[in-house]
A and B are shown apart, each in its own frame.
Chain A
Amino acid sequence: MNEIVSDKSWILLERCPIQNEHDIVKARQVVRQFGKEAGMGIVDQTRITTAVSELFRNMFLYAGGGEVLVEKGIVDERNTLIVTCIDQGPGIANIELAMTDGYTSGGGMGYGLPGSKRLVDRFEIYSQVNKGTTIRVMKWK
């Protein structure tokens, strides 16, 4: 179901399950740490960490959890940190709507997805109703 293709040359840094709020915190720390190791400044670290925090939380809230892959590799000739969030939740029927500022199906603010997109250099989303959602974000170093 994963229509978001990976590059074989990328290196898997860590695989994090997201089952509870504690996992969100842990995975977020992992991403921040690898951002730091990649040589990102504090602003970029904060951006990627906040962006993935939104995605992890969505996975936890709407899909009952999922899995996160943290990878590094060369994308467009740049050193890139790649974070892929995979869940087997209900999926998103209307991606355009979900990506709209202020749209929420629950009691959120509706800025998670569009905000996350603005905070990263690449944002890919693939979702199938009743199958799940895969979202990948990338941040250049």
Chain B
Amino acid sequence: MEANTEIKNAKVRIEHIEDVLSSVAAGDLDIRIESEIEDDLTGVEQAINLLIDDLTHELKKSIKMKEDMEDKLRKIQDQQKTILQQQEDLMELSSPVSKVWDNILILPVIGTLDSQRTQIMMENLLLKIVSTGCTTAILDITGVPTVDTQVANHLLKTVTAARLLGAECIVSGISPAIAQTIVHLGINLSNILTKATLQSAMIYAMKKNEQLVDGKVKTNFTDIDDIQL
């Protein structure tokens, strides 16, 4: 007991503690206090060593966490890139023009018609009209959620351009809600031939081409690319 009450080399050892602490503060976590003598100060020295151990552990954990987060961030960024890429792909994909029947092209429009997509869509359709020589094209807008003045304008332009190439366009798939909205907007679509559904547009087109007579499909034509109906 008696020995414990007196602390040997107190000044030197406290200075050492101070040195170690300032090293730790400076970022050196490998350093520890070496205690050669067992007395009251040893407890403090060991406590400080434990503290440095804990600190090291915590630091490692937070470094690991930071790395994990960075990793996750990179993954999210990658995913985002993929999504953007897919969106662009989809843009091309979702304006597929197909010749579904002799002389009849169908362009199902899905999603939002921004100016970029409309451009692609219009070009695709016009090219296909020229390459197939079809004289009827159905633009089905069932999949377009909002028809505003810009979409209407694009539709009008597409129909007009197709007409210049000798093809008649039918716009189908205008829902009752969209029909009412177009009326309120005040846009005049009376220059465009419209049908409520893709089916009625198809029937109209086939009748016009005399491919459907008295409810019977005439089968004396060939060249069916792919049938989607």
Which residues of A line the B interface, CB within 8 A? Answer: 21-22, 24-25, 28, 32, 42-43, 45-47, 49-50, 53-54, 57, 101, 108-109, 111-112, 114-116, 118-119
Contact = CB atoms under 8 A, between A and B. Distances in A.
Contacts of B145: 32, 49
Interface of B: 112, 114-116, 145-150, 152-153, 175-178, 180-181, 184-187
Contacts, number: 65
A53 B148 contact: yes
Given A22-B114, A112-B149, A118-B185, 12 more contacts: A21-B116, A24-B114, A46-B146, A50-B185, A101-B186, A108-B149, A109-B187, A111-B149, A111-B185, A115-B187, A116-B185, A119-B185
The prevalent SS among residues of A at the interface is helix
| Most interface-central of B148, B153, B175 (chain A CB within 10 A) | B148
A50 B114 contact: no
Contact of B181 (A22, A101, A119): A119
Contacts of A109: 149, 152-153, 187
A108 B148 CA distance: 11
A86 B186 CA distance: 25
A108 B187 CA distance: 11
7 contacts: A22-B114, A25-B114, A50-B185, A54-B185, A57-B150, A115-B186, A119-B184
- Minimum-distance CB pairs A-B, first 7: A115-B185, A46-B177, A53-B148, A21-B114, A43-B177, A118-B184, A111-B186
